Structure 1
Amino acid sequence: MTSAGDGNTTVKLPAEALQGQRTSSAYRLALGDAGVQAAVILFLCVLWETVTRLDLVHPFLLPPLSQVLQRLWEDILSGTVFVDLALTLYRALSGFFIAAAIAIPLGVLMSRSAALRWFFDPLISVGFPMPKIAFLPIFILWFDIFDTSKIIMVAFSCFFPIVTATFAGTSAVDKWPVWSARSLGAKDREVLWEVVLPLASPQIITGLQIALPVGMITTVVTEMLMGGRGIGGTMITAGRFADSVGVFTGIVEIAFLGFVVIRSLEYIRGRLLVWHPESRR
């Protein structure tokens, strides 16, 4: 039971009712945020259409939004937009998962082994700030000009933020829970799986949330440079034929895909960290 008072009057509220009030308040805040975001996007769309219709910008440099949406609808009816989105998402997610499968174990091992940390820390420190796209000619030379080199390029770009976040998260775990688990007889593997990784998971997931947009950017850039199907390849083809409507249609597709991916990651984070204090905000 929880009490809520106003002056000298005290009302007892069940814990379930208080939890329901908090949930309702959270939903109202979420709806309010969504309403603000939708209003901002709608305002930008109206501004885009108005500026082009008033001839304040040359239509070749900025085509009207209505023409872009019409082209997008035609691509939807023909099915080409689904092929491009599927190929770009496949390359981005394949490279992302490959990077996560390598970077997360390596980051954990680096935090637990001084020898591994001594060996990999200089490599990661040098590689992290480097422009990863500069390695694309090497990957094309080593592999091929098709999906293999694109996926490896994406994995290479996603690797560094994930391994850095994993190492930082596992290294920063408070020593008291670890000592408490050891005092109760927990073995090293149990401490790792039941104490260290759960406590480090918020920062690890943050690294994944940073890496996936980086992977999507890398995917689009590699498609532009190497050609072929995909959002980036379609955009660069439209640009070569001076099809500005096609270029901006690709931008709208990228914006939609990025929005869906980012929101999906936020939802997954909320489900995985439902036990964490951040979920109460």
Structure 2
Amino acid sequence: MATVQATSRGSLKAKRATPRIAPDRLVDITVQAGVIVVLCLAWEFGARVGAINPFLLPSLSDVLARIWADAMSGTVFVDLGLTLYRTLAGFLIAAALGIPIGVLMARSATVRWFFDPLISVGFPMPKIAFLPIFILWFDIYDTSKIIMVTFSCFFPIVAATYAGTTGQDKWPIWSARALGAREHEILWEVRLPLALPQILTGLQVALPVGMITTIVTEMLMGGRGVGGSMIMAGRFADSVGVFAGIVEIVFLGFAVVRSLEMLRARLLVWHPEARK
């Protein structure tokens, strides 16, 4: 009898631990996958029947064959690794600088008076215009590229952190003070958790911006990386190589953005948005 009960309890725990996909989520995934499949089939069919000039748009099978050949030689992993390294390095530096500055802007009027004009002017500016200056000040290798990514990611992170830290409900803060919490305890245990959804939104905005900046800087400066390989293929009229780089960027961007979404879901498991 005890064995039967233990077995039934174990099966119940296994059923509870097994993740289930909601029906509406399953429909969304099916529709999204169907759209991608249709576009890929239309691309391949249009190139095969000659409806599109193969030089202007090579077939998907040729592009995938190039990616496979480059993967066998190892060049794909080197290019993707360098692009990912530059993107994440600049993004993490921007997060390490932007989040504290955004919190300090919300907490200190002096800090806000100093940084608010800089953020207001720098946010809408095209950051890539500063690339020649960074090349002049630093070098033509990874340093200037990473600083360019940091510069591009910095502003949305600061703005999101500042907005999340200022627009907060006062009742949890007042309750914490009534219970005897100190200001640094309120900051770490009340203010930052309340601002975390907005901060993560800023990070989710900044990460694709950082990847775009990395690709553009690699195209403009050359060298190894997905952007550098694409511009080199374009100079030699290698359209298959150019589209191979585009497909690689699509997969890399999807993996990076999806990873950040999963991190958001993990960090906000306590938040009401996790129940949706």
- Judge same fold: TM > 0.5, yes or no: yes
Cα offset, 1:50, TM superposition: 1.0
Cα offset, 1:38, TM superposition: 1.2
Cα offset, 1:146, TM superposition: 0.2
Q: Secondary structure at the match of 1:129?
A: coil
For 2:253, the equivalent position in structure 1 comes to 258
**2:81 corresponds to 1:86:** yes
**Cα deviation 1:11-36 (Å, max 9, x = unaligned):** xxxxx99x96xx64x44433332222
How far apart, in 1, do the equivalents of 2:210 and 2:257 lie?
12
Match of residue 96, structure 1, among 91, 96, 101: 91
Q: Secondary structure at the match of 1:233?
A: helix
For 1:173, the equivalent position in structure 2 comes to 168
How far apart, in 2, do the equivalents of 1:47 and 1:240 lie?
28
Write the letter of the residue equivalent to 1:144.
D
For 1:47, the equivalent position in structure 2 comes to 42
**Cα deviation 1:137-159 (Å, max 9, x = unaligned):** 00000000000000000000000
Map of 1:58-97 to 2, 5 A cutoff?
A: 58-97=53-92
Write the letter of the residue equivalent to 1:171.
T
Write the letter of the residue equivalent to 2:60.
L
Q: Secondary structure at the match of 2:50?
A: coil
C-alpha root-mean-square deviation of aligned residues, in Å?
1.7
Cα offset, 1:70, TM superposition: 0.6
Cα offset, 1:56, TM superposition: 1.4
Map of 1:1-281 to 2, 5 A cutoff?
A: 24=20, 26-281=21-276
**Cα deviation 1:68-92 (Å, max 9, x = unaligned):** 0110110111111000000000000
For 1:8, the equivalent position in structure 2 comes to none
Cα offset, 1:53, TM superposition: 1.3
How far apart, in 1, do the equivalents of 2:259 and 2:139 lie?
32
For 1:9, the equivalent position in structure 2 comes to none
Structure 2 unaligned blocks of 5 or more:
1-11
How far apart, in 2, do the equivalents of 1:193 and 1:32 lie?
39
How far apart, in 1, do the equivalents of 2:128 and 2:71 lie?
31
How far apart, in 1, do the equivalents of 2:155 and 2:103 lie?
14
Write the letter of the residue equivalent to 1:265.
L
**Cα deviation 1:139-194 (Å, max 9, x = unaligned):** 00000000000000000000000000000000011111111111111100000000
Write the letter of the residue equivalent to 1:138.
I
Q: Secondary structure at the match of 2:96?
A: helix
Instruction: State the number of aligned residues.
Output: 264
How far apart, in 2, do the equivalents of 1:30 and 1:186 lie?
41
Structure 1 unaligned blocks of 5 or more:
1-15
TM-score after normalising by structure 1: 0.91
Write the letter of the residue equivalent to 2:236.
F
For 2:5, the equivalent position in structure 1 comes to none
Q: Aligned residues: percent identity?
A: 72
Q: Secondary structure at the match of 1:275?
A: coil
